[in-house]
């Protein structure tokens, strides 16, 4: 059975989109979807979820 809604965006694509925004200095709204990053809002939601989950704190400790 097919689940409703769009398929989840892989973490790797979100990470690449976030790094592209940081590297180029563009706004997340201007993230070019044709490069395969999906939307800037999707990347922003994902990084917010990672921050709230303490992912970066764990990486810093490692």
Centre a 10 Å sphere on the Cβ of residue 40 and count the other Cβ atoms it contains: 20
pLDDT of residue 1: 59
Task: Report DSSP state, residue 46.
Answer: H
pLDDT in tens, 25-56: 999 999 988 888 888 999 999 999 999 999 99
Q: What does each C-alpha distance from 30 to 4, 13, 18, 51 come to in angstroms?
A: 28, 16, 12, 22
Which residue from 54, 50, 53, 52 is spatially nearest to 12, judged by alpha carbons?
Answer: 50
Rounded Cα–Cα distance for residues 56 and 33 (Å): 25
Greater model confidence, 8 or 25: 25
């Amino acid at each position: 059975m097919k689940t409703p809604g769009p398929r989840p965006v892989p973490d790797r694509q979100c990470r690449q989109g976030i790094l592209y925004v940081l590297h180029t200095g563009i706004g997340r709204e201007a993230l070019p979807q044709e490069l395969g990053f999906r939307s800037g809002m999707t990347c922003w939601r994902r990084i917010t979820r990672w921050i709230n989950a303490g992912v970066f704190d764990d990486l810093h400790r490692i």
